[in-house]
């Protein structure tokens, strides 16, 4: 066990985490040159395309160190985006150490801090690595000092690395051997293994990723999940190679590996549960993780109503790999049958939506995202509300409270003004501002979550030319003057477009949405009024003019096939629209109202 | 003997018009002889292979068939002469500034009895913006010449809804009215009036021209219908008007889903429930490889019934229930009753004398109806 090192890589998004992981794989020879491609650990097409890591991935490596000994590394790659902090937290519990990658031109960023503090809370040994030293703008010495000042980790011998070019990778590997402690366990204890991830395999059932803390597990053992109490016969154990699994005899204390046990139901093997052996069970489970809380809710509706069952299957399959996704059936007057889904944030929402359309080929309509409001009613009761449609009658409401987050924004000082403008627009309350160094500050705000979820991050990036970074955490609820804004198309209310907004911003939002809808709803055979209203009061109005003509003027020459194809194409286009009364609304219209700032 | 139609494609033009997306070339006149030698081979083959067929309509289109020497046309006619019915309608497309009285007389003597003249507009500036090679006066002269040569059945093509192209002004209602007035005074029997479609790949498309306001486009259509009706033309198809008795038999064949054989580059055939198409690759064609096998479409009964309805609704009288019954041994109300009732409810079609046909609203939104049948 002395030669095992379990570690993860933590970093702010884009600081080069996945590239460093690639290099480590290459250096330890786990992949041949031919197998090597960029972002090896990011399997999902979406991950490669967006250049981000969504799912944590683990891999086992062998490394012959300078001291002549063979070491086994278990590397777990983690996501960097704030929405996926949750994935990071569960990874940490499986490791003894974390490589902290810091971009030598950007320095410490908001998520660097958030991730480091999480790692420290989990008693992880932090190995700082200064990356991207090949960049002309690199300032490794300053960044080292910044890490020491801001985080308080000594950085004297932090490896200076360029993962992209391949400089200093060997130093990183040696630092892992030297600094990260080997796992410890108490011999003779009953088996305990922590489930830190799982995914669904069509042939083998749920594959459980776990870190064995005490004892060992082998094929043929009967395991018990301590929380669910379910027992299963182990059919396979092993460890990971990029993109595949390698079977082994057993996995034992200190090791990271997987277990397959023909588990059909993912809820029997939840992340955070402890696995023990049925014939010699442990007394106490390992400490689990915090339960994930969905921050953002919205409705998913198939454009084609007959896809409802497929959508249910798709969500179920995605949930197998993504415990943070929750959903339950709901109905909308406008959209029919669909699902109310809960997400970690807007990026999470977008990714799920994209995966449903790509991997499951279902066209979706997404309703306006909402946070969870607390509605205090005049009869003294309190309701939680995640769907604006269910908002009680205004006369029954005493007050509404909305979720508030504490947001930390790190930025070069020159953008402080821009950020103040942005946070003021978003109803933020300034808490304080600290200098990290002469030209960089960390600003702390209290912001209503519903102002953060839409496009706060995008706006922040665009107003700071990408230099600012953001992290936020929920701190509680505060009363607020909120109203429900409804959208009427052709005088019919479209419940799916209703949302809750601060009274002061209702007019602006209403007008923006009306004009966005006007752009994205194609002209039809009649005029379509678009109205935004609060209660019965109309606060904005636009009109989509009627079109007057839709006719193929010319059809002769016998080439009827071509004309038919044209008509078929038009028909396909229409299928992607949803009919409300007699108005056809394309999917894009729903999406466009979500991104008002573009 | 089975009666069908014959289409012959001649892909040469003096100049490619800015809105044109037909398969035609202005730079291949060196290959004219070569092309026709293959066209004759293909035509002879079709005739030999289909001994049971006679043609009651022939349409020589393009391109600009009149841009090549009339001996080629004469030879086409001599190849098919024995297979034409006695009342066969034989049309050739010609363009102003490519014909003289001799050429026209040659056509007539060879057996051509209908001319379709591509005029498009009588406004000088619009002709320029469309990229036509002729002037307004030349267009008028060509029509008069055709009548003088002895043609009794003459169509002209006109275009409305012309957008602003390359800095030229777009067409106005006034322009259009003027063009129609001239057209009506020429003593012709048929007018095709097309609302311009900006097709991908054309100059107009590549230059990024935008459609004129669709309200104006519709006004032009109503104006056209109103004026032509005053002069004795009857609208019998969405874009076609004729003095009664002079409707284009060949085009009606398409709209009634009857069979036809196509010969020449990019031509389509429809025989025994299968639609074939020739290659649109000029050099492949003159290399002796005529058909594009990838384009073959086998229609099942449902396809055929759908096409019957879709194309039938292009005609003002609508699809004919008796013909439907005769061809498919079914009542079209049994097959399409629900759709037809729905379209009626939406005010797009109406039942008159046992037939469904387009309402005035249906004429504006005909694609709504067509889409129901694809």
Residue B248 and residue B323 in one domain: no
Give the closest of A552, A559, A570 to B366, CB-based: A552
The answer as to whether B301 is a domain residue is: no
Give the closest of B196, B197, B374 to A564, CB-based: B374
Decide if pLDDT at A567 tops 70.
yes
Q: What is the pLDDT of residue A598?
A: 44
Residue B65 and residue B200 in one domain: yes
The answer as to whether B215 is a domain residue is: yes
Residue B109 and residue B185 in one domain: yes
Residue B238 and residue B322 in one domain: no
How far is residue B256 CA from its own chain's centroid?
14
Residue B238 and residue B345 in one domain: no
- A560: chain B residues, CB-CB within 8 Å: 254, 268, 270, 275, 307, 311
Give residue A241's pLDDT band: very low, low, confident or very high (50, 70, 90). Answer: confident
User: What is the ipTM for the molecules in this complex?
Assistant: 0.88
Query: Is A555 within 8 Å of B314 when comparing Cβ atoms?
Result: yes
Write out the DSSP string of A141-167: HHHHHHIIIII----TTPPB-BTTTTB
CA-based nearest residue in chain A for residue B298: A561
Q: What is the CATH number of the domain that holds B124?
A: 3.20.20.70
Separation of alpha carbons B306 and B330, rounded Å: 13
Map residue B219 onto helix, strand or coil. helix
Q: Which two tokens stand for residue A373?
A: 């409001």
The answer as to whether B307 is a domain residue is: no
The 8 Å CB, 24+ separation contacts for A137-146 are A137/A105, A138/A104, A138/A105, A139/A104, A139/A105, A139/A107, A140/A104, A142/A107, A142/A437, A143/A102, A143/A103, A143/A104, A143/A107, A143/A108, A145/A437, A146/A107, A146/A108, A146/A436, A146/A437
Average pLDDT over residues A495-521: 88
- B311: chain A residues, CB-CB within 8 Å: 555, 560
Residue B175 and residue B54 in one domain: yes
> Which of B254, B269, B292 finishes a domain?
B254
CA-based nearest residue in chain B for residue A573: B371
Residue B40 and residue B123 in one domain: yes
Pick the more confident residue, A419 or A52. Answer: A419
Pick the more confident residue, B28 or A439. Answer: B28
CA-based nearest residue in chain B for residue A572: B371
Task: Identify the CA nearest to A574 among candidates A514, A527, A525.
Answer: A525
Give residue A437's pLDDT band: very low, low, confident or very high (50, 70, 90). Answer: confident
Residue B204 and residue B82 in one domain: yes
Q: Chain A interface, mutation test: which of B254, B294, B304, B306, most A Cβ atoms within 10 Å?
A: B254
Residue owning tokens 């080439």: A559
Write out the DSSP string of B13-51: -SS--TT--SS-BSS-GGGHHHHHHHHHHHHHHHHHH-T
Q: Min CA distance, B353 vs chain A (Å)?
A: 25
Helix spans in A31-109 (H): 45-50, 85-92
In total, how many domains does chain B have? 2
Separation of alpha carbons B174 and B193, rounded Å: 16
- Flag whether residue B312 sits within 8 Å of chain A, measured between CB atoms: no
Query: Is A552 within 8 Å of B311 when comparing Cβ atoms?
Result: no
Would you write out chain B's pLDDT as a tens digit for each of its 374 residues?
899 999 999 999 999 999 999 999 999 999 999 999 999 999 999 999 999 999 999 999 989 999 999 999 999 999 999 999 999 999 999 999 999 999 999 999 999 999 999 999 999 999 999 999 999 999 999 999 999 999 999 999 999 999 999 889 999 999 999 999 999 999 999 999 999 999 888 999 999 888 999 899 999 999 999 999 999 999 999 999 999 999 999 999 999 999 999 999 999 999 999 999 999 999 999 999 999 998 899 999 999 999 999 999 999 999 999 999 999 999 999 999 999 999 999 999 999 988 999 999 999 999 999 999 98
Query: Is B370 within 8 Å of A567 when comparing Cβ atoms?
Result: yes
Query: Range of B347's domain?
Result: 318-371
Query: Is A548 within 8 Å of B254 when comparing Cβ atoms?
Result: no
Q: Min CA distance, B307 vs chain A (Å)?
A: 9
- B235: chain A residues, CB-CB within 8 Å: none
Decide if pLDDT at A290 tops 80.
no
Q: What is the pLDDT of residue B68?
A: 97
Query: Is B367 within 8 Å of A556 when comparing Cβ atoms?
Result: no
pLDDT in tens, A105-118: 888 887 777 778 87
Q: What is the pLDDT of residue A52?
A: 54
Average pLDDT over residues A464-482: 86
- A552: chain B residues, CB-CB within 8 Å: 197, 238, 366-367, 370
Residue B62 and residue B183 in one domain: yes
> Which of B224, B254, B284 finishes a domain?
B254
Residue B245 and residue B329 in one domain: no
How many CB atoms within 10 Å of residue A67?
9
Residue B223 and residue B140 in one domain: yes
The 8 Å CB, 24+ separation contacts for B223-228 are B223/B173, B223/B176, B223/B177, B223/B180, B224/B160, B224/B176, B224/B180, B224/B193, B227/B177, B227/B180, B227/B181, B227/B184, B228/B180, B228/B184, B228/B191, B228/B193
Helix spans in A200-335 (H): 308-321
Decide if pLDDT at A283 tops 70.
yes
- B275: chain A residues, CB-CB within 8 Å: 560-561
The answer as to whether B338 is a domain residue is: yes
Which phi and psi (to 5°) does residue A208 adopt? Answer: -100, 125
Query: Is A550 within 8 Å of B365 when comparing Cβ atoms?
Result: yes
- Flag whether residue A579 sits within 8 Å of chain B, measured between CB atoms: no
DSSP classification of residue B290: -
Query: Is A574 within 8 Å of B215 when comparing Cβ atoms?
Result: no
Range in A436-445, A558-567, B152-161 with the lowest mean pLDDT = A558-567
- A553: chain B residues, CB-CB within 8 Å: 194-197, 238-239
Extract the runs of DSSP E, i.e. beta strands, from A499-598. 499-502, 528-534, 537-544, 577-580, 583-586
How many CB atoms within 10 Å of residue A81?
22
- Flag whether residue B120 sits within 8 Å of chain A, measured between CB atoms: no
Give the closest of A553, A556, A567 to B254, CB-based: A556
β partners of residue B86: none
Q: For residue B369, is it left (φ>0), alpha (ψ between -120 and 50) or beta?
A: alpha
The answer as to whether B303 is a domain residue is: no
The answer as to whether B181 is a domain residue is: yes
- Flag whether residue A203 sits within 8 Å of chain B, measured between CB atoms: no
The answer as to whether B287 is a domain residue is: no
Query: Is A564 within 8 Å of B307 when comparing Cβ atoms?
Result: yes
Task: Identify the CA nearest to A307 among candidates A587, A45, A49.
Answer: A587
CA-based nearest residue in chain B for residue A549: B364
CA-based nearest residue in chain B for residue A562: B295
Q: At what angle do helices B301-312 and A560-575 cross, to 10 degrees?
A: 90
- A570: chain B residues, CB-CB within 8 Å: 367, 371
- Flag whether residue A395 sits within 8 Å of chain B, measured between CB atoms: no
Which phi and psi (to 5°) does residue A224 adopt? Answer: -125, 135
> Which of B238, B254, B270 finishes a domain?
B254
Separation of alpha carbons A594 and A366, rounded Å: 9
| Strands B297-298 vs B274-277: parallel, antiparallel or unpaired | antiparallel
Range in A60-69, A575-584, B151-160 with the lowest mean pLDDT = A575-584
Q: What is the pLDDT of residue B181?
A: 96
C-alpha pair distances (Å), A358 with each of A301, A351, A353, A593 = 16, 10, 9, 22
Separation of alpha carbons A472 and A449, rounded Å: 9
Task: Identify the CA nearest to A296 among candidates A337, A327, A336.
Answer: A327
Query: Is A555 within 8 Å of B371 when comparing Cβ atoms?
Result: no
Residue B56 and residue B172 in one domain: yes
Map residue A480 onto helix, strand or coil. strand
Q: What is the pLDDT of residue A416?
A: 94
The answer as to whether B290 is a domain residue is: no
Decide if pLDDT at A204 tops 90.
no
pTM for the model = 0.64
């Amino acid at each position: 066990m002395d030669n095992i090192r379990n570690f993860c890589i933590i970093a702010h998004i884009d600081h080069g985490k996945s590239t460093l992981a690639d290099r480590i794989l290459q250096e330890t020879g786990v992949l041949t040159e031919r197998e090597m491609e960029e972002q090896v650990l990011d399997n999902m097409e979406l991950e490669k395309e967006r250049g981000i890591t969504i799912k944590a991935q683990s891999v086992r490596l062998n490394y012959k160190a300078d001291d002549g000994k063979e070491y086994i590394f278990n590397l777990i790659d983690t996501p960097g985006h704030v929405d996926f902090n949750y994935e990071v937290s569960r990874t940490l519990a499986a490791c003894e150490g974390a490589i902290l990658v810091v971009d030598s031109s950007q320095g410490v960023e908001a998520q660097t801090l958030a991730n480091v503090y999480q790692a420290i809370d989990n008693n992880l040994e932090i190995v700082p690595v200064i990356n991207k030293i090949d960049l002309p703008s690199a300032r490794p010495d300053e960044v080292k000092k910044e890490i020491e000042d801001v985080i308080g980790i000594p950085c004297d011998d932090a490896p200076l690395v360029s993962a992209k070019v391949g400089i200093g990778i060997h130093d990183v590997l040696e630092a892992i051997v030297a600094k990260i402690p080997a796992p410890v366990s108490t011999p003779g204890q009953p088996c305990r293994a922590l489930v830190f991830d799982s995914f669904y395999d069509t042939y083998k059932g749920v594959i459980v990723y776990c870190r064995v803390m005490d004892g060992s597990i082998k094929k043929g053992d009967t395991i018990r999940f301590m929380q669910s109490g379910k027992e299963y016969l182990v059919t396979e154990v092993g460890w990971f190679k990029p993109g595949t699994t390698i079977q082994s005899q057993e996995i034992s204390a200190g090791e990271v590996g997987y277990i397959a046990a023909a588990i059909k139901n993912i809820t029997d093997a939840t992340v955070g549960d402890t696995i023990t052996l049925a014939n010699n069970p442990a007394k106490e489970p390992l400490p689990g993780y915090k339960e994930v809380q969905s921050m953002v809710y919205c409705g998913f509706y198939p454009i084609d109503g007959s896809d409802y069952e497929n959508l249910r299957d798709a969500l179920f399959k995605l949930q197998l790999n993504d415990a943070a996704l929750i959903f339950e059936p709901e109905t909308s007057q406008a959209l029919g049958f669909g699902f109310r889904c809960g997400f970690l944030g807007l990026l999470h929402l977008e990714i799920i939506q994209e995966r449903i359309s790509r991997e499951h080929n279902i066209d979706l309509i997404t309703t306006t995202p909402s946070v969870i409001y607390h509605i205090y009613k005049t009869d003294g009761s309190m309701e939680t509300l995640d769907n604006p449609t269910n908002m009680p009658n205004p006369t029954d409401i005493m007050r509404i409270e909305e979720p508030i987050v504490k947001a930390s924004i790190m930025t070069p000082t020159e953008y402080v003004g821009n950020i103040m403008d942005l946070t003021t627009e978003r109803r933020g309350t300034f808490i304080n501002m600290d200098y990290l160094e002469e030209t960089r500050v960390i600003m702390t705000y209290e912001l209503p979550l519903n102002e953060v979820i839409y496009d706060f991050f995008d706006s922040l990036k665009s107003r700071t030319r990408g230099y600012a970074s953001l992290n936020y955490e929920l701190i509680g609820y505060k009363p607020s003057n909120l109203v429900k804004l409804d959208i009427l198309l052709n005088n019919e209310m479209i419940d799916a477009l209703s949302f809750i907004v601060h009274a002061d911003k209702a007019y602006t939002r209403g007008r923006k949405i009306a004009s966005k809808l006007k752009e994205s709803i194609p002209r039809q055979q009649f005029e379509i009024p678009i109205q935004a209203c609060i209660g019965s009061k109309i606060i904005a109005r636009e009109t989509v003019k009627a079109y007057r003509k839709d006719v193929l003027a010319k059809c002769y020459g016998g080439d009827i096939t071509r004309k038919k194809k044209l008509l078929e194409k038009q028909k396909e286009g229409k299928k992607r629209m949803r009919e409300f009364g007699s108005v056809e609304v394309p999917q894009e219209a729903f999406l466009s109202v979500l991104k008002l700032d573009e | 003997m089975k009666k069908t139609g014959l289409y012959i494609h001649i892909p040469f033009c003096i100049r490619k018009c800015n809105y044109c997306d037909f398969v035609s070339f202005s730079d291949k006149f060196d290959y004219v002889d070569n092309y026709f030698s293959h066209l004759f081979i293909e035509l002879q083959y079709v005739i030999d292979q289909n001994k049971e067929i006679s043609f009651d309509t022939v349409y020589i289109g393009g391109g600009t068939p009149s841009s090549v020497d009339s001996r080629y046309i004469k030879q086409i006619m001599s190849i098919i002469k024995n297979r034409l019915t006695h009342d066969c309608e034989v049309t050739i497309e010609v363009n102003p500034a490519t014909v003289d009285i001799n050429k026209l007389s040659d056509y007539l003597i060879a057996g051509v009895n209908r001319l379709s003249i591509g005029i498009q507009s009588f406004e000088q500036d619009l002709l320029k913006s469309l990229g036509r090679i002729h002037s307004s006066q030349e267009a008028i002269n060509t029509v008069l010449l055709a009548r003088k040569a002895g043609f009794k059945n003459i169509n002209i093509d006109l275009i409305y809804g012309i957008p602003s192209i390359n800095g030229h002004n777009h067409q106005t209602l006034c322009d259009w009215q003027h063009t129609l007035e001239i057209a009506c005074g020429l003593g012709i029997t048929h007018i095709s009036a097309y609302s311009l479609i900006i097709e991908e790949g054309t100059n107009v498309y590549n230059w990024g021209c935008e459609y004129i306001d669709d309200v104006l486009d519709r006004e032009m259509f109503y104006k056209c219908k109103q004026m032509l009706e005053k002069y004795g033309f009857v609208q019998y198809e969405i874009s076609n008007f004729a003095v009664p008795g002079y409707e284009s038999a060949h085009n009606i064949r398409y709209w009634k889903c009857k069979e036809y054989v196509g010969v020449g580059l990019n031509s389509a055939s429809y025989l025994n429930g299968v639609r074939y198409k020739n290659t649109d690759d000029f050099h492949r064609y003159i290399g002796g490889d005529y058909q594009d096998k990838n384009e073959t479409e086998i229609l099942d009964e449902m396809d055929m019934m759908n096409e019957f309805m879709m194309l039938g609704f292009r005609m003002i009288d609508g699809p004919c229930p008796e013909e439907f019954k005769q061809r498919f041994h079914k009542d079209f109300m049994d097959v399409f009753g629900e759709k037809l009732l729905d379209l009626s409810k939406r005010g797009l079609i109406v039942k008159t004398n046992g037939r469904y046909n387009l309402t005035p609203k249906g004429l504006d939104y005909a694609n709504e109806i067509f889409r129901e049948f694809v």
